[in-house]
Structure 1
Amino acid sequence: MDYDGNLRLYSLNIVSGLWTITWEAVRQLCSVHGLCGRNGICVYTPEPKCSCPPGYEMADPSNWNKGCKPRFSRICSSKSPQQVKFVKMRYVDYYGFDSSYSPGITLESCKMRCLEDCQCNAFSYRLTGDGKCFTKVELFNGYKSPNFPGVLYLKLPLSIETSEVVVLNGTNHTCKLGETTITIGLGTSSTLETRGRRVTWVYLYSFASVIGTIEMLFFVSGWWFLFRKSGIPAMMEEGYRVLSNHFRKFSYMELKKATKNFQEELGRGASGVVFKGVLADDRVVAVKKLGDAYLTEEVFWAEVSIIGKINHMNLVRMWGFCLEPKHRLLVYEYVENGSLDKHLFSGNVLGWNERFKVALGTAKGLAYLHHECLEWVIHCDVKPENILLDGEFEPKISDFGLAKLSQRDHNNSEMSRIRGTKGYMAPDWALNLPITAKVDVYSYGVVVLELVKGIRLSNWVAEDGDEQETELTRFIKVVKRKIQIEETAWVEDTVDTRLNGHFTRIQAKKMIEIGISCVDENRSKRPTMDSIVQALLECEDGLRILDQA
């Protein structure tokens, strides 16, 4: 298994002393994601090679894995639209990392969406029946193929000179290890072609058959000698049990027994009631009993399929499910410290280190859902009740009952009803805008500001008589006013007073700035979750242990 996830067979050339590829699982190497690094484009010339788009150059001339870097400083196109241009690149696409998807719109409208979004680096437009617009925040997995039914428009400053016709010639992709060169060429070498002619299919089939027969004989002989008297040992039974229990279907009676007839309630969410239980193998679990609205198989499988596709330390893990005519249950890992709201809004004061850890971990979990999954997952209900804390106060996002799995070619606005919790819902819902990952960014912003302030900002409060506004609106007004008049202690005045000054100012300032930008009513001005993670990681080095007795 090679570094790029492709399975290859290398052979040593006795004469030259070099290892060369004689077989590989994926022949169309441009199909391997990330092979040419960030901003790089895989081109067939006709051999697959890496190339940089206009305005970019290799980050490291000796290593294509580091991709391409821009030869310009990025500017915000929404503030200076006259200073940028779009370079047309036919048959080119960057797979994934789309900030939005809009079907049935014109090329000009698609261009405006990218111009109005400072984070947008390019947009892909396809004319397959109706116009489809994909705006790109990051440029990964680039490739050029005559079969791609679309055009990429790369956003560049006007100062960058480009030709009318973009030509991607490509550069050889090689990896040098000491004095031995291994050609992993994005491309088929002459050695590969020569050996390919010499090695016939008859030889390959014969070789595979002989090896398979020998392995089978060893396996059967070993099994007979080991287990002819004692049968299957306890260790193998235990291994099988662990494998089968990793993710499986439970019966209703199993879960009823595990929860002692659903005795200990852990909490209630939008999708059902959660109970604590202990399985037969002594694993402590959280069993969610879905409500009547979630009894349809379609809704049930929506949650199961979403959770089954993801795996991240900041997302609650699912152990299994129960699907019976009158019962729909989900079995999750048990997270011992409960939900964030019980620590943040109770009499117990959550320390600053823990608050920052929650902000960073939650951002990492959402960034995984939005950017690292090949299909978008939008949670739709991010709030303190759905952020659980383990023994080390590491956050885990839970309750995917409202989540939306959004494929690249599906309409993001296809939501049958408004989803989420009042106070954490983005205005996008009320404005009937296409639903994108930016609704989660808004909800995350509310949570981050609540982590800083230590109070519910989703509540409504009276203002000037009968007029009402949310605590969040009032909070943002006050903070912006203090920043405007350049109050030196505005951060100290904003942070939860229960901390008694025990916090890191640079982290608190960054969290407030991030939170305010996340709850901007104009969703194009909200940051992406991966950029939030990067900003918080830069502050993490300044973390100091301040919660001391």
Structure 2
Amino acid sequence: MVYDGPEFTSIYWPNPDDTIWGNGRTSYYSSRVASFNDIGTFVSSDSLEFRCLDSSLGVKRRLTMDYDGNLRLYSLNNSSGLWVVTWQAIAKQCNVHGLCGRNGICIYTPDPKCACPPYYEPVNSSDWSRGCKPNFERGCNDSQFLKLPHVDYYGFDLNYTRNVTFNDCQQLCLGDCHCRAFKHVIRGDSWSCYTKGDLFNGYNMADDSLYLRIPTRVKVLEVNRIILNVSRLACGDSKVVLLPNSYNDASTRSFKWVYVYSFGGAIGTIEVIILVASWCFFFRKHVISASLEEGYHILTTQFRNFSYDELKRATGKFNQVLGKGGFGAVYKGVLADARVVAVKKLENIVQGEEEFWAEVSLFGRINHMNLARIWGFCSEGKHRLLVYEYVANGSLDNHLFSSSNNSVVLEWEKRFKIALGTAKGLAYLHHECLEWVIHCDVKPGNILLDSDFEPKISDFGLVKLCQRGGHGLSNLSQIRGTKGYMAPEWTTNLPLTAKIDVYSYGVVLLELVKGTRLTSCAVDDSLGEEEVTEFSTFVSLAKTKLQDGEDSWMEDMIDPRLEGKFSKNQAAKLIEIGLSCVDDDRNKRPTMEAVTQVLADCRDETATVDTPSYV
């Protein structure tokens, strides 16, 4: 997608910072052919592909370039007559170019709004696409620089220089009358300098600062703050406009007139009875639709920003600890509306407040039966908290690895249900979300179980909050207590993909079958290689027995506490899939979508089947 404005033109989707290959595209086609099928999947000849959230037949859809520059796919809800967004090209609205015009800055509060930098004012406060203008006259010889923390403008670099000091970078800008600002940042292993000729597509970011050029006669404020203004992104009133279903209305009216003229005179009495029955039927239907619509409204408005004092009261000053993990402690609480919640206090958050709001707002829109629902968040001063639904049965590790003599052994049916549900949740994150999410921390402690032992994956997206900007091994220490579930590529310079979650899922799958923790690295790193050897031994033994085709090979692999009460067919599948998932070569690991399909196919089977193949 391209912003084509009166002053400049720029590409903003797919990501212009990526290469053609990085965006999943190719330049080997001279033409483009695309199709959009009946279940809501878009596929093109240059490998661009996306799918809607409600992938199914019989749904009316439309693909629309909206007024705010975002491409969205809408599905029609027949009961309410509303068009619902089921896919959008750009998750963060501030990544759309041209929204705030020249010199303007797009920020999250948490909704996207436009702002002007200090000593600038809107050209037209009712039309932010015209941007901001300086309230001073520009000069070339009498300049100083104003530091704007966490601000950047995309593109329009006059100069890019590596291995340069801050003073030299400043002099580069001062020596060019066209330079409006400069950045001095670390790129790779050296300091780099960017000088800006024009200031378009401004946005808030977690790191780095921009140095804005202003006259020396302007008195610099001690505390530099971006001046917020009413944004044009809030488009008038918030009234919902129901789009008419003219095809339904017209056909209904036509049918009623034909009915009246054709049968009215002959069967008048029956007509009255039918009309009364029809009226009752439609009245009942509308009542149900209204209640459903109200239910949807409640569900979609529960995600919100909580105050710290509100969560402090809800948790009784954080006195009931449910658990503690690598991202922080979790406390039980009760909200004012009587909902029982789990409140997680996050640690090591490196993002600014606005960007944190934007990220967790995305998590709030993620909704799947096998993902722990996030009700809201708190971002107040130094405090960063997330509010989850409370899941009654705790985490999987408490049921699977409990050493208590009174603990109940997890039945086979529940284990298989947990394996399938966890696969569904990860497949949703990898393949169906509006924004692609890699969990990065799949382990039994992050798989919660509700009252029916339906699994719910928690902590998805937290690595993205705590590790933004991290590279390679430098930040692995921040992911504490989960080294036993990490894929080999964590220790290399390979880019991390969804296949790291597949590896972690494979470890969990084998532990579900065995009933013991195959590696204690998640508990105590001081044990070193001894526990890693146990996992390697189990994998090696399982592969050998599987290849030899021994009749009794599964007896040594299955949790003895089950006393033989398990499906041999399902156990074989879980072991085969688990071994495939923990392959050192990530290209040989299956996708979670393929795993889900294989497990779903053998959910009700009892006979032995062939080894599955993956794509």
Calculate the TM-score normalised by the size of structure 2: 0.48
In structure 2, do the counterparts of structure 1 residues 415 and 468 end up closer, same or farther at CA, with 3 Å as the change threshold?
closer
Question: Offset at 1:415?
Answer: 9.3
Is the 8 Å Cα contact of residues 445 and 517 (structure 1) preserved in structure 2? yes
State the match for 1:360 in structure 2: 420
Is the 8 Å Cα contact of residues 412 and 436 (structure 1) preserved in structure 2? no
For 2:417, what is the secondary structure of its paired residue? helix
Is the 8 Å Cα contact of residues 295 and 328 (structure 1) preserved in structure 2? no
Q: Which residue of the other structure, out of 568, 589, 595, is the alignment partner of 1:505?
A: 568
CA distance in 1, matches of 2:520, 2:61: 59
For 2:370, what is the secondary structure of its paired residue? coil
CA distance in 2, matches of 1:326, 1:153: 41
State the match for 1:515 in structure 2: 578
Q: Which residue of the other structure, out of 515, 520, 529, is the alignment partner of 1:454?
A: 515
For 1:142, what is the secondary structure of its paired residue? strand
Question: Offset at 1:471?
Answer: 2.0
Is the 8 Å Cα contact of residues 412 and 434 (structure 1) preserved in structure 2? no
CA distance in 1, matches of 2:533, 2:352: 36
State the match for 1:540 in structure 2: 603
For 2:379, what is the secondary structure of its paired residue? strand
In structure 2, do the counterparts of structure 1 residues 340 and 404 end up closer, same or farther at CA, with 3 Å as the change threshold?
same
State the match for 2:322 in structure 1: 266
| Bigger relative contact order (CA 8 A; separation at least 6) | 1
CA distance in 2, matches of 1:366, 1:240: 24
State the match for 1:380 in structure 2: 440
In structure 2, do the counterparts of structure 1 residues 319 and 438 end up closer, same or farther at CA, with 3 Å as the change threshold?
same
CA distance in 1, matches of 2:412, 2:512: 9
CA distance in 1, matches of 2:307, 2:361: 19
For structure 1, list consecutive stretches of 5 or more residues without a partner in the other structure.
1-94, 97-101, 111-122, 129-138, 145-150, 155-174, 178-182, 187-207, 212-234, 545-549
Larger radius of gyration: 2
Q: What are the superposed Cα offsets for residues 465-487 of structure 1, whole Å, 9 maximum, x if unpaired?
A: x9774322110111122223332
In structure 2, do the counterparts of structure 1 residues 467 and 286 end up closer, same or farther at CA, with 3 Å as the change threshold?
closer
Is the 8 Å Cα contact of residues 327 and 348 (structure 2) preserved in structure 1? no
The Cα RMSD (Å) is: 4.3
State the match for 2:454 in structure 1: 394
Question: Offset at 1:532?
Answer: 0.1
State the match for 1:118 in structure 2: none
Is the 8 Å Cα contact of residues 476 and 516 (structure 1) preserved in structure 2? yes
Is the 8 Å Cα contact of residues 270 and 401 (structure 1) preserved in structure 2? no
**Equivalent residues in 2 for 1:234-383 (5 A)?**
242=298, 246-293=302-349, 296-297=352-353, 300-301=356-357, 304-346=360-402, 347=404, 348=407, 349-383=409-443
Question: Offset at 1:307?
Answer: 1.5
Is the 8 Å Cα contact of residues 287 and 332 (structure 1) preserved in structure 2? yes
1:440 equivalent to 2:501? Answer: yes
Question: Offset at 1:269?
Answer: 1.7
CA distance in 1, matches of 2:326, 2:531: 26
State the match for 1:417 in structure 2: 475
Letter paired with 1:422: K
CA distance in 2, matches of 1:240, 1:382: 30
**Equivalent residues in 2 for 1:211-226 (5 A)?**
none
State the match for 1:141 in structure 2: 42
Question: Offset at 1:400?
Answer: 2.6
In structure 2, do the counterparts of structure 1 residues 327 and 527 end up closer, same or farther at CA, with 3 Å as the change threshold?
same
Letter paired with 1:365: G
1:489 equivalent to 2:545? Answer: no
**Equivalent residues in 2 for 1:53-132 (5 A)?**
124-126=25-27
Letter paired with 2:457: I
Is the 8 Å Cα contact of residues 330 and 343 (structure 2) preserved in structure 1? yes
In structure 2, do the counterparts of structure 1 residues 239 and 354 end up closer, same or farther at CA, with 3 Å as the change threshold?
closer
State the match for 2:118 in structure 1: none
CA distance in 2, matches of 1:485, 1:241: 57
Question: Offset at 1:369?
Answer: 0.4
Is the 8 Å Cα contact of residues 448 and 456 (structure 2) preserved in structure 1? yes
Is the deviation greater in 498-507 or in 306-315? 306-315
State the match for 2:73 in structure 1: none
Letter paired with 2:459: D
Letter paired with 1:342: N
For 1:417, what is the secondary structure of its paired residue? helix
CA distance in 2, matches of 1:467, 1:290: 32
In structure 2, do the counterparts of structure 1 residues 303 and 481 end up closer, same or farther at CA, with 3 Å as the change threshold?
same
Is the 8 Å Cα contact of residues 397 and 445 (structure 2) preserved in structure 1? yes
CA distance in 2, matches of 1:451, 1:531: 19
**Equivalent residues in 2 for 1:38-53 (5 A)?**
none
Percent of aligned pairs with the same amino acid = 58
CA distance in 2, matches of 1:388, 1:509: 25
Letter paired with 2:339: R
CA distance in 2, matches of 1:276, 1:153: 44
Calculate the TM-score normalised by the size of structure 1: 0.54
Letter paired with 2:506: G
CA distance in 2, matches of 1:124, 1:331: 38
Is the 8 Å Cα contact of residues 412 and 435 (structure 1) preserved in structure 2? no
Letter paired with 1:381: D
Letter paired with 1:542: E
For 2:573, what is the secondary structure of its paired residue? helix
Is the deviation greater in 370-379 or in 508-517? 370-379
In structure 2, do the counterparts of structure 1 residues 338 and 367 end up closer, same or farther at CA, with 3 Å as the change threshold?
same
Q: What are the superposed Cα offsets for residues 135-191 of structure 1, whole Å, 9 maximum, x if unpaired?
A: xxxx941246xxxxxx4599xxxxxxxxxxxxxxxxxxxx9x9xxxxx9999xxxxx
Letter paired with 2:344: K
CA distance in 1, matches of 2:516, 2:596: 23
CA distance in 2, matches of 1:434, 1:354: 35
In structure 2, do the counterparts of structure 1 residues 246 and 458 end up closer, same or farther at CA, with 3 Å as the change threshold?
same
For 1:531, what is the secondary structure of its paired residue? helix
Question: Offset at 1:352?
Answer: 0.6
Question: Offset at 1:106?
Answer: 8.2
For 2:26, what is the secondary structure of its paired residue? strand
Letter paired with 1:534: Q
CA distance in 2, matches of 1:431, 1:394: 35
CA distance in 2, matches of 1:341, 1:327: 29
For 1:470, what is the secondary structure of its paired residue? helix
Q: What are the superposed Cα offsets for residues 429-449 of structure 1, whole Å, 9 maximum, x if unpaired?
A: 112211110000000000000
For 1:540, what is the secondary structure of its paired residue? coil
Q: What are the superposed Cα offsets for residues 11-69 of structure 1, whole Å, 9 maximum, x if unpaired?
A: xxxxxxxxxxxxxxxxxxxxxxxxxxxxxxxxxxxxxxxxxxxxxxxxxxxxxxxxxxx
For structure 2, list consecutive stretches of 5 or more residues without a partner in the other structure.
1-12, 30-39, 50-56, 64-240, 245-290, 608-615
Question: Offset at 1:524?
Answer: 0.2
Is the 8 Å Cα contact of residues 377 and 386 (structure 2) preserved in structure 1? yes
In structure 2, do the counterparts of structure 1 residues 354 and 239 end up closer, same or farther at CA, with 3 Å as the change threshold?
closer
Q: What are the superposed Cα offsets for residues 342-373 of structure 1, whole Å, 9 maximum, x if unpaired?
A: 00001421111111011000000000000112
Letter paired with 2:507: V
Is the 8 Å Cα contact of residues 343 and 387 (structure 2) preserved in structure 1? yes
Is the 8 Å Cα contact of residues 472 and 492 (structure 2) preserved in structure 1? no
For 1:310, what is the secondary structure of its paired residue? coil
CA distance in 1, matches of 2:433, 2:491: 27
Q: What are the superposed Cα offsets for residues 285-327 of structure 1, whole Å, 9 maximum, x if unpaired?
A: 0011112546753774475144123110000111111111132
